[in-house]
Structure 1
Amino acid sequence: MSKPVVAIVGRPNVGKSTLFNVLAGEMISIVKDTPGVTRDRIYADVTWLDKEFTMIDTGGIEPESKDIILAQMREQAQIAIDTADVIIFITDVRQGLVDADSKVADMLRRSGKPVVLAVNKVDSFEKFMPDVYEFYNLGIGDPVPVSAASRLGIGDMLDAVIAHFPEHEAEEKEDERPRVAIVGKPNVGKSSIINKLTGKQRVIVSDIAGTTRDAIDTNVKYNGKDYVFIDTAGLRRKSKIKEELERYSIIRTVTAVERADVVLVVIDATEGVTEQDAKIAGIAHERGKGIIIVVNKWDAIEKNDKTMKEYENNVRRVLSFMPYAEIMYVSAETGQRLNKLYDMIDMVIENQTLRVATGVLNEIMTEAVAMQQPPSDKGKRLKLYYITQVAVKPPSFVIFVNNKELMHFSYTRYLENKIREAFGFRGTALKFFIRERKEKDQ
């Protein structure tokens, strides 16, 4: 099931980033070898009680003039309305209620999305409560007093946030249709691929970066099977600032990837694979999704007998953190190999949901340990007791060992390779959790 997305919106200096950092705090999951995860902490995974969600910071506003501040706040609110399941609207008790707050509150109210109104910098409830009541005037529900800096009231705010999460696990189970997100930089041909696959010209495509409007889910029947395509091409506007456009497309990517089973990462063959491609692919990798790297505009490449091999080596080098990802060469223009994508999507989903019997896993592990001794440190040798699969999407395994410290990343990778040799698992990440069991527990 996909995690809900919660976005933070608010004026400059009301404490958005303080709150984001407090919530992300220890909870941010940074994957060491994934590019672009640490540098721009636009999003973080947060767990509160038994609920997990993805939190998004819609952006900082630093301009001087009031008009620009309002324009940018509206922009942020629009991003939040477009992508989030719940919106946290932050205001500042010390500055009081200002005009920009009311205008943004109107937008949020009209959107019909659930909004939690947080009044920040309330370091003393006794002293500030009369000022907090003023925020009832925004007409978007009860203000929740918090202090991000002193960490007061955060629990109440999160309770209010998760109260809006849909209780829809039952419905989701019935919807067995594979969900496929199409992601990539602007202008790599995402919309053209969707148009070709769905046979509809429903996304306006033009050559100006960022002109496609509106992400729409498209249902497609192919060979009697239903698929849902989630399109991230939708940038609502042309931004003058490159960083902003990039931030917006990363937010769109995170929310689309969150809802998908399989992610098609589209790369422009004529441009080659770039840092930005790696950043976008990293989001899908971090979230354990099925991944197919789709090299588009392949018809525009001058080829000889070595072209594909060289190209593949290059893609594998830049995306070295996901060696399991499948690669396909297509052309949305000519339709070359596009229908093969359906078979590839089916195969990746099969691998994402594959369950391996515990007995078989333990045989593979025993054999692997016999072939390559586990590492030891200061006379202590790692012992592996038992392995079992605990989840699918992505396939996740727990390994019980005598000492977690001795279980090096490289040995986990070695076991992963052995499991992949036996079962393939092409196109999907595998997750491993190492648990310690003392000798006497055996």
Structure 2
Amino acid sequence: MALQISATNPEHPALLLELPWHLPLEEWPEHHLVPLPRGISRHVVRYARAGDEVIAVKELAERPALREYQLLRDLDRLGIPAVDALGVVTGRTDGAGDPLEPVLITRHLGGSMPYRSMFETTMRPATMHRLMDALAVLLVRLHLTGFAWGDCSLSNTLFRRDAGAYAAYLVDAETGDLHTQLSTGQREYDLDLARVNISGELLDLEASGALHPSVDPIDFGNEICSRYRRLWQELTRTSVYPAGKYHYIERRIRRLNDLGFDVAEMQIEHSSNGDTVTFVPKVVDAGHHQRQLLRLTGLDTEENQARRLLTDLESWMATQDDYAPGDPLGARPEVLAHRWVREVFRPTVRAVPPDLRGTMDPAEIYHQLLEHRWYLSERAQHDIGLDIAVKDYIDNVLPKARAALPPPIDDVTAM
């Protein structure tokens, strides 16, 4: 069989042809590889360069490779945080003409870390709780779209910083299935697998001495269940309100917005005697603040980053002379938002030298600067301003933190 490359982008096949597909992944020359941390996988996985992109290449049988490729594309279409599927390579043979396993190619998720790399230094319990929050949100989002993961674990997840929290991304969809809707049994099966897998992974870390002494692996395995159930209940529960109290429905929707979700479809029914109204969110979409920030500014960020940037944007708009809500002569929010990006956000981020940024994206840098400004202002008992905060952050914070951060993709050289 001749070598075949199925790719999502017409530019990728030409770039991918330059890679040594005639060799098993374990034997790829070092000049093709990129030294990035890898998680545990049942398959051989390598990071490589394809033109200007860093890709993850995973060897597996043809049928599961094609299936996972399609599932990842489906998840992308549904707006689920997962790695981007770039292509599948089949028909591989070695120099003697013997067949080699096909490979699945995904785009490296910039700024992300596998959980084992995050435990190279002892992780505090508070950070562990944030990881459980991120994983619970990811699992809920998957289940809301009808995706049964089949192997939810820390190993099959990548984590990115998200304004003091973390955002979780699905990496391995090989065992997944997409349905119109999941039953309670399907969701509970996924949840039980997550509990067992997470407890097992943390027990391994405990045995290696990489787990904080106060972290109980079994308790944290159970915690993913409790966090998942609380969020699922809030997003899907039926509410019964007195007739005429329609502002209660609006209050419930606002609460869902605060959690980062939009109600795309709802069901409202009056009781037979007209005394009560039943409200059920039928379709709930994640990314409320992301969409709001993207609409106003064009910035595409994680959810918590978007929430923080929107707060800063609103505070800044209130200081502008032409900001007059409801006044037809005042500047529209979209106009002010783009001015904020041009005059505040971009200059602030560009003030941080690229060699000190590590893996932080612009939104995370800006969040860190806002946090540092708050800290300095609290210490000084007055607002010290963003310019002073940026200078102090560059001079006193980043140089110390830089050594602990993984290198940015652009600084990575071949092994």
- The TM-score, its normalising length taken from structure 1, stands at 0.27
Greater fraction strand: 1
- The TM-score, its normalising length taken from structure 2, stands at 0.29
Greater fraction helix: 2
